[in-house]
Structure 1
Amino acid sequence: MRMMKSALLSATLCILPVTASVPAKAQGMPPEQIKQILEVTKTSWVAFRDWEGQDLIYFTHLEAWKCGIDYVFFGLNGSPLEEIWELDACDPDNPNAVLKDKPYLEMPDGSVQSISVQLVFPDGTKSTVETFPYKPQ
């Protein structure tokens, strides 16, 4: 048993210098995996906040998964999904970074009752339309 542990340790030490010298690569996920994550986290696609007399609608969650989304269409208060949320460009070296100064919409106080959102994925498929009632935190 002791010999087996020693052999395993020797083998690990022989491999360690080789793997330690290989530069780290970007660890982005394939778009189909991001699509699955977005499906199970759809209740987090948007968030709301009342702030200094404005209704804020945050798209932070979608910005964090932008490398797996081509388009974000939305409509306010039951209107058609004709608006587009412009996602930042995907950075494969930092795929989940949210660097946008304002990852939210600013609307007049009391003007938002709901938002409906639909995503378009790189494979051309669309998510279901999800509607979120305005519930500020």
Structure 2
Amino acid sequence: MRALCLVAAALLAATPAWPQSFTTAAEIRPIIEATRAAWVALRPWDGKELLYFTHLESWRCSMAEVRFSVNSSAATRVWQMLPCLTGTAQPNAIPADRLPYTELPAGALQTVTVVVVLADGTELRQDYARARILMP
């Protein structure tokens, strides 16, 4: 039995790891769909509120566009994302100087609608009530 375990371990060690870049719609669609509750977050800060898009920015390489609206279902406002960092080990990384949020007046947001357009044209939509995205 021990010999079998050693053989299995040797085979696993010899198998090359195939990295995924997570830069295509097919790669990230299951992740984005499974994490809908985390697409945005709302944080009260210094007399205003910050609406964060950090999660979506982390998968931006496979997105054509992100639109949103506050207190409306229109989702016509475009969230401007940085280009994909192609040619790097982490193409979806968020640069340290990037602020992945927009500022709103305190108490202004009651609902937010987000539409994610994947690179293949698929549109995913999610509506949020303030209480569902409010960070402590």
**TM-score interval, smaller chain:** 0.7 to 0.9
Distance 1:5 1:35, change over 3 A: closer
Q: Tell me how far 1:76 sits from its aligned partner.
A: 0.7
Task: Decide whether aligned partners of structure 1 residues 114 and 25 sit closer, same or farther in structure 2, where only a CA change above 3 A counts.
Answer: same
Give the TM-score taking structure 2 as reference length.
0.77
Match of 2:127 in 1: 131
Percent identity of equivalent pairs: 35
TM-score calculated relative to the size of structure 1: 0.77
Distance 1:34 1:52, change over 3 A: same
5+ residue gaps, structure 1, are: none
Query: For structure 2, which runs of at least 5 residues remain unmatched after alignment?
Result: none
Greater shift after overlay, 34-43 or 78-87? 78-87
Count of residue correspondences: 126
SS in 1 for 2:32: helix
Q: 1:39 aligns with which of 28, 33, 39?
A: 33
Call closer, same or farther: CA 1:72–1:38 in 2, change over 3 Å: same
The residue identity in structure 1 corresponding to 2:41 is A
Return the alpha-carbon distance in structure 2 between the equivalents of residues 104 and 50 of structure 1. 12
Deviations, residues 38-63 of structure 1 (Å, cap 9, x unaligned): 01111100011000011110000000
- 1:110 and 1:2 map into 2 onto residues whose CA distance is 63
Larger Rg: 1
Matched residue type, 1:113: Q
Corresponding residue of 1:57: 51
Task: Find the aligned partners of 1:84 and 1:26 in 2 and give their Cα distance.
Answer: 31
> Hey, what's the Cα distance between the residues in 2 that align with 1:3 and 1:120?
51
Letter of the aligned partner of 1:81 in structure 2?
A
RMSD of the TM alignment (CA)?
2.8
**What residue in structure 2 maps to residue 118 of structure 1?**
115
